[in-house]
Amino acid sequence: MGAEHAHENLSGWKRFWNRGGWWKALLAAAVYLAFYVSLSFPISAWFGQYVDAENILATPASIFIGLALPILIGAIVLLCFIGSLGWFREIFGRQPIAGRWWMWIAVALLVIPIGLRVAATNWSEYSVGVILTMLATGLCIGIAEELITRGIAVNLLRRAGHGERTVMVLSSLIFALMHTVNAFTQPLLNVAITVAYTFGMGVMLYLVLRVTGNIIWPILLHAATDPTTFLATGGLDASGATSGSESLISLAGVFNYVYFAVAIVAIFLVKGKASLPSEPFGRPVNTAGQKR
C-alpha cells in the first residue's frame, strides 16, 4: 500500500524516466547534443571576438569561450536533469554490480597513452594560463560526456532490465554516435574512424566504471584524455605549430585501434545484470556479490 501510494505521488516526469528504455537513453543523448550544438550560436554571437579562429589554443579566453563554456553549461544542465529525477545516489554512488579483475586492463589502456602524450607535449610553447584552462576544459568534457553516457544512459538501460553486455554496447554506441556531429566540419571518412575509436573508448570507460565502482574514475580518465591530446598535437583535429614529439604521439595513437579490438573481446566477456532500482524511490540495490 505504501509503495503504491509513493508511486502515485511521483510526477509524470519521474515516472517516464524511471521506467528506463534504450530509446530514452538515445533521446536524452540527442537532446543534450542538440542543446550543446545550439549553444555555439549565441556564444559565438556574444563572445566570438575572444576566440582565435586560427588557433583556438592561443589564449585562455579563446579556449574557455570556444571549448569550455558550452560544455560547462551542458554539464550544469545534466546535473539539474539528474537532480530533478533524484538519481544522484544511483549515478554518483557505488555501482550496483561489481567488475572483474580483467577489467583493470581498461584502466591501464587509458592511462598509458595519457602518459605518452604528457611526455610528448612541448610544454614550453604554452603559458600556464593556457595549460590550466585546457585542463579545466578537459574536466568539463569528462563530466558532461560521462554523465550523459556512463551515467544517464547506463542508468536508463539498467532500469529497462537490460543485461550488462547490452548496457555496455548500447551506452558505448550512443557515446560514439554523439561524435557524428563532427560530420559538419570533417570528411566523412575521418568521422567514421572517430566513431569506431570512440565506441572502443566508450567500452573502456564502461569497464573502468565497473571495475572501480564509481563514475568519478571514468570522468577523471576522460578528463585527462582530451586536453593531453590537444596539447600534445597543438590543435583539435590536426597537428599544429606547437606539436610535440611525433613518435610518442603516434605511439599513443595506436591505442585508438587497441581500444576497438579490446572492445570486441569485452562483448564476449561481459555478463551479468544489475538489480533494478525500485521505481517509487529510484534507489539501486547493491548486487556487488551477485554471480557474473
**Predicted confidence band at 194 (pLDDT cuts at 50, 70, 90)?**
confident
Extract the C-alpha cell encoding 153. Answer: 544512459
Angle between helices 246-269 and 104-120 (to 10 degrees): 170
* φ/ψ (deg, to 5) at 147: -65, -45
Within-domain flag for 280: no
**Residue range 43-75, pLDDT digits in tens:** 988 998 888 888 889 899 999 999 999 999 999
| Predicted confidence (pLDDT) at residue 286 exceeds the cutoff of 50 | no
> How many structural domains does the chain have?
1
Helical segments of 50-127, H only: 60-63, 69-85, 88-92, 104-120
| CA quadruple 98, 101, 105, 107: dihedral, nearest 10 | 40
**Would you give the DSSP letter of residue 213?**
S
pTM here? Answer: 0.88
Q: What does the pLDDT average to over 190-200? A: 89
Within-domain flag for 281: no
Within-domain flag for 291: no
**Would you give the DSSP letter of residue 10?**
S
Within-domain flag for 278: no
Cα distances (angstroms) measured from residue 168 to each of 198, 241, 250: 13, 38, 28
**What long-range pairs does 254-258 form, CB within 8 A, spacing at least 24?**
255/109, 255/112, 255/113, 256/197, 256/200, 256/201, 257/197, 257/200, 258/109, 258/200
Q: What does the pLDDT average to over 254-269? A: 97
Q: Which residues contact 166 (CB under 8 A, 6 or more apart)?
A: 157
What is the domain extent for residue 110? 2-269
CB atoms within 10 A of CB 73: 16
Q: What does the pLDDT average to over 174-199? A: 84
Within-domain flag for 274: no
Within-domain flag for 286: no
**Residue range 117-160, pLDDT digits in tens:** 999 999 999 999 999 999 999 999 999 999 999 999 999 999 99
